[in-house]
A and B are shown apart, each in its own frame.
Chain A
Amino acid sequence: MALHKLKDFHTPGSLDEALDFLGQNSEALVLAGGTFLHGLEARGLMSDVEVLVDIRKTASTVDVNDSAIEIGATTTLARLLEIPQITEAPWAAALPDALFYPPVQIRNTATIGGCIAASCPFFDVPTALLALDAVAVVRGAGGERKLSLPELFGGLFANTLEPGELITKVCIPRVSGKAASAFLKLETNANDLAIVNAAARIVVDNSGICTEARVALGGGVAEFALLSSSAENVLLGSKLDAAILRAAGQAVVDDIAPMSDHRASAKYRSAVAQVIAHRALERAVARLI
């Protein structure tokens, strides 16, 4: 298309092969589903790329065990919707909520590792994964390390991976007790990126007091999707009644720095972020069993 300097299109058949290749070609650009790269290419932002490494064949196994859901980085979004432990668990429900929004053509192509590596503040799945405390397992010449998503997101379209490193897995730790989560998106039409999105995960004890809370926001509320500790602090130790959920929604403004763009102004994002966070919390609470 428009990669005029592209010299090599490499398609390793295994993770080791991909890492070996990246070790020797650290400037190579890693390609998974490719749905995001195309947008960058169309804007002329990839004109210097000389080597593409397509890693789709390297890491697409999903392992659901007692402590976590471990998802190979090149697992497609569509595949995740075929796994009952993901689609039927209230504590993980934010993920299938987020997977509902992208059209089938994207779900069949985009990968879970690619969507977080992109560090794009407008995507839906990363916001859900933030609320679920997901961890990226990363491998490179220096071995393996784990990055939380706040550690992975370095800035607008910039992750904190070192040259030659790859995300190999995304792990979602199980939560015990009475737990539920939810995701919600505000969009102008079914084909557009988020104006604002929000995800929440809550855990309550037997008397209904909130013992753990995560409230995540994305969609241009900052240069990357983020967790709102202010909202979480409102929820922790409280009974999750209507007033507390509303107050938690309002508290997100203390943690966001919304941008203005062709979709919405910063002022509008600031107003609707409170509403969408509130509704995501209500949706999660309604799922507590």
Chain B
Amino acid sequence: MKQMMTLEVNGETHELSVEKDATLREVLRDQIGLIGPKRGCDSGGTVHIDGKAVYSCLCYALSYDGAKILTADGLSSGPALHPIQQAFIDAGAVQCGYCTCGMMMSAKQLIDECPQPDEEQIRHGLSGNLCRCTGYTKIVEAIKLASERLAQ
């Protein structure tokens, strides 16, 4: 049985008919067609709801009727990449790439709250994201670089 709901996703309003037990990640990926929120462990998929990083796999979509969602797909709205995305490229912080979207969304929450994080704060801010390639060092460097560029 489906139910109607509204989501503002990456600046666009979507009227959606969703399964009552659908997770937010299922709606974002399967109904809206975004590829930022990844299904890995089935309990992750970091996106922002009303400016806060959450696991879209753990959220029932219907809990968030009317919410504003930001996914990695919407980090940059124009041709230029968001400084966090650019820093991930410049620092070589991507191996297989599967964790990258989630890492960037956690990085955004961290830098939004703490514009000049030190290494310990960055590592703590990423504690909810796993990189199966174990490429954490360059991810930490990328976030440091992004925070420095954003502060300028």
A1-12, CB under 8 A of B: which get 1 and which 0? 111001111010
User: How many of chain B's residues touch chain A, expressed as a range?
Assistant: 20 to 34
- Say if the beta carbon of A24 comes within 8 Å of chain B: no
A104 B58 Cβ-Cβ under 8 A? no
A34 B59 Cβ-Cβ under 8 A? yes
- Say if the beta carbon of B55 comes within 8 Å of chain A: yes
Residues on the A chain within 8 Å of B3, using CB: 9
Cα distance A190–B130 in the bound complex, in angstroms? 10
B55 A54 Cβ-Cβ under 8 A? no
- Say if the beta carbon of A269 comes within 8 Å of chain B: no
A191 B62 Cβ-Cβ under 8 A? no
Residues on the A chain within 8 Å of B62, using CB: 9, 11, 54
B1-23, CB under 8 A of A: which get 1 and which 0? 10100000000000000001111
Smallest beta-carbon distance B4→chain A, Å: 12
Residues on the B chain within 8 Å of A39, using CB: 43
If over half of B's interface residues share one DSSP class (helix, strand or loop), that class is named, otherwise mixed; here it is: mixed
- Say if the beta carbon of B65 comes within 8 Å of chain A: yes
Binds A, one of B46-54, B86-94, B137-145: B46-54
Q: Given A9-B20, A104-B109, A104-B128, A56 and B63 touching (CB < 8 A)?
A: yes
B59 A109 Cβ-Cβ under 8 A? yes
A105 B20 Cβ-Cβ under 8 A? no
Residues on the B chain within 8 Å of A52, using CB: 20-21, 60
Residues on the A chain within 8 Å of B63, using CB: 11, 31, 34, 54, 56
A7 B43 Cβ-Cβ under 8 A? no
Q: Given A35-B58, A103-B128, A109-B59, A6 and B106 touching (CB < 8 A)?
A: no
Name the residue on B nearest A109 (C-beta): B54
Q: Given A6-B20, A9-B20, A42-B42, A104 and B125 touching (CB < 8 A)?
A: yes
Residues on the B chain within 8 Å of A54, using CB: 60, 62-63
The 10 closest A-B pairs by CB, nearest first: A103-B128, A3-B21, A190-B127, A108-B52, A9-B20, A105-B128, A9-B62, A105-B55, A38-B58, A103-B127
* A-B contacts besides A34-B60, A103-B127, A105-B128, 8 pairs, CB < 8 Å: A1-B22, A6-B20, A34-B58, A102-B128, A103-B129, A105-B44, A108-B54, A109-B55
